[in-house]
A and B are shown apart, each in its own frame.
Chain A
Amino acid sequence: MNTVSLTDVASYLPGEPVPAEFYTEYPGAEDKLRHHPMFKIPPLRHHVAADETNADMIERAVQPLIERHGRDEIRNVDVLLVHSQLPDLPFVGAGTEVARRLGLQPEWLIDVANAGCASFVYMLKLARRLLTTTDARTALICNAQSAAGQCFTQSEVRRLAQAAIPGDGCGVGYVTTSAGAPVLDVETRHIGDYAGDMTVMLDDGRKYWEAGESQLRIGFTEASIAKVLARGNRLVPEVVTDLCGRLGVSTTEIDVFITNQPNRAFLRNWREALQLPPERHLHTFDQCGNLFGAAIPITLDRAIHSQHVKDGDLVVLGGFAHAGDFAGAVAIRWHSAQG
């Protein structure tokens, strides 16, 4: 079996950082939980511009890869996998538009609409499988997150405590059949029992595409916050522990641990469960908020380029999606392609 490497990652954050006051000083803002340690909102986050699409962000995020590896190299990718939140169009993903913009002609193009906040892990698994079982040799995997500046800035939603948590951004990974930064193993689980517990809420009951006054926001169905907390607490340590077990290493041997970052509670709980010190569980929550699926590649990119990831490090990326309908973790032995 060919060795597949996560050769490089790059990212893009839209616009200038938006301070917390954008929400806290908004008329009618819910403020009772603002000072609570668990709900203390991130000082900064980024918002997409009004006319900025997922494809725009991906195009910008890929530029550093083009600069580092050459335009032709990126143009020749055989596999393009794209996960976007919110999708710009309800009937087609951003993938083909990304291919058009970047001049790609991939044999495999999949818009991934599942695995949410852990979709980078799932796309890495898909890419690895395609690169080891077909003629495909290189892949581009993309996570675009554009819900914060659109959904959460609406006049009514902006007042809610939940609105101040998300942030927008885009992270991309360049995956190749090489041995530089090998993907050691992947552990993923689709958990149908928890499907549909995260949903969009519209107070007047209209479908999201029907005309109306109500403003779309994200919410949970019968599955309460408590249930989702308990699931998240359990799922991420479980998949990471199983992954490490298969690799024959202890979780304490993870050098760099990067996850999705829904809130500070999960960051603290996962780190504790895996017995990792804070300096080994890297996140960008304070600068970027909850980046949904883009969190893992953005944080990884920033960690690599700020020298927080060293050659030879065991890097584990993990997370869970939505209300727990997916969980996954991947292990990589990092070596910089930049020498």
Chain B
Amino acid sequence: MSADPSMLADIPGLMRIENTDREEMTAHCMDLTHAVYPHHQVYGQYCTIQEHVDCPPEQAYDYLRLGHHLEEWTYSLRGFAPTATPGLWVGHDRLEQETSIYCKVVANPEAMTVDYHCSWDQGDKLWMIYLMRVVPARLVLDKPGSVITWTNCHHPYYDNNPHPEMSPRPDRPWVGDYWDLFYAGHTVEMKNLKAILEHRHHGGLPVSVPPVTAVVR
């Protein structure tokens, strides 16, 4: 099978081996390769972090899929309870007083992706999305355990609260004010996740635990 070159002829700026030889490609790549990158360049528009966790991927995926575990490994999400909307939960983000966080888990067992669709203050539009993926470390690092990736994208609502009227009080800081600390904050939470999964897996304990408050489903 080969791509039809005529399908690409009108697209400017493509760099493919047909129009860019290896030396030119190397030169271009050298130009793009720096020794250091400013924080805003790496984490300004997207914030992706990743970690190896010594826990089997299926168990790591299951743990992430069950939303109540957010109360264990996140810094400040607590007290989730179901809402009237199936699959939508509401809890407290104790980062700020009296702040509700709405959350829906969208998981895909085949790809082992777990996305948390969230929002502060309201559950109608879930725009703050945490994209996580579990990859078997055997495949990518040739060692046991999981590689867990976690990406957030800089949605415009981080810069402008679309519903300031829903804030519990006028002077409450907005979640987007913390964007520049996402790399750091998420790294702390990823370390929590790693510590919990590894502690239970190494101790022969069940990795997933029941919710603290039983929920009538």
Contacts and interface: CB of A to CB of B under 8 A. Distances in A.
Do the two shown chains form a genuine complex with each other?
yes
B27 A233 contact: no
B35 A234 contact: yes
Given A38-B30, A229-B30, A265-B30, A272 B35 contact: yes
B202 interface: no
Nearest to B31: A38
B33 A229 contact: yes
Contacts of B26: 225-226
B35 A273 contact: yes
| Interface-centre pick from B21, B23, B27, B35 (highest chain A CB count, 10 A) | B35
B28 interface: yes
B30 A32 contact: no
Contacts, number: 44
Contacts of B31: 36-38, 265
A269 interface: yes
The SS class assigned to the A binding surface is helix
B28 to A, nearest CB: 7
Contacts of A37: 31
B36 interface: yes
A42 interface: no
B58 interface: no
B35 A269 contact: yes
B34 interface: yes
B86 to A, nearest CB: 51
A33 interface: yes
B24 interface: yes
Nearest to B24: A32
Interface residues of B, number: 13
A310 interface: no
Interface in B1-60: 21, 23-24, 26-31, 33-36
Interface in B76-125: none
B47 to A, nearest CB: 22
A269 B31 CA distance: 10
A194 interface: no
A33 B23 contact: yes
Interface string A207-246: 0000000000000000001100110011001000000000
Contacts of B29: 226
Contact of B24 (A36, A225, A230): A36
A270 interface: yes
A145 B214 CA distance: 78
Nearest to B20: A32
B35 A33 contact: no
A33 B34 contact: no
Contact of B21 (A32, A230, A265, A273): A32
A229 B36 CA distance: 13
A76 B30 CA distance: 47
Contacts of A32: 21, 23-24
Contact of B33 (A36, A233, A270): A233
A250 to B, nearest CB: 15
A38 B27 contact: yes
Interface in A246-264: none
A143 B191 CA distance: 51
Contacts of A272: 34-36
A225 B31 CA distance: 13
Contacts of B28: 36
B24 A33 contact: yes
A121 to B, nearest CB: 19
Contacts of B27: 33, 36, 38-39
Contacts of B34: 233, 268-269, 272-273
Nearest to B27: A36
A32 B23 CA distance: 8
Contacts of A270: 35
B46 to A, nearest CB: 21
Contact of A273 (B23, B30, B36): B36
Contacts of B33: 229-230, 233, 265, 269
Contacts of A161: 23
Contacts of B24: 32-33, 36
Nearest to A265: B30
Nearest to B33: A229
29 contacts: A32-B21, A32-B24, A33-B23, A36-B24, A36-B27, A36-B28, A36-B31, A37-B31, A38-B30, A38-B31, A39-B27, A161-B23, A225-B26, A225-B30, A229-B30, A229-B33, A233-B33, A233-B34, A237-B35, A237-B36, A265-B30, A265-B31, A265-B33, A268-B34, A269-B36, A272-B34, A272-B35, A272-B36, A273-B35
Closest 9 CB pairs of A and B: A233-B35, A269-B35, A273-B35, A273-B36, A36-B27, A38-B31, A38-B30, A33-B27, A265-B30
Given A265-B30, A270-B35, 5 more contacts: A32-B23, A33-B23, A36-B24, A269-B33, A272-B35
Interface of A: 32-33, 36-39, 161, 225-226, 229-230, 233-234, 237, 265, 268-270, 272-273
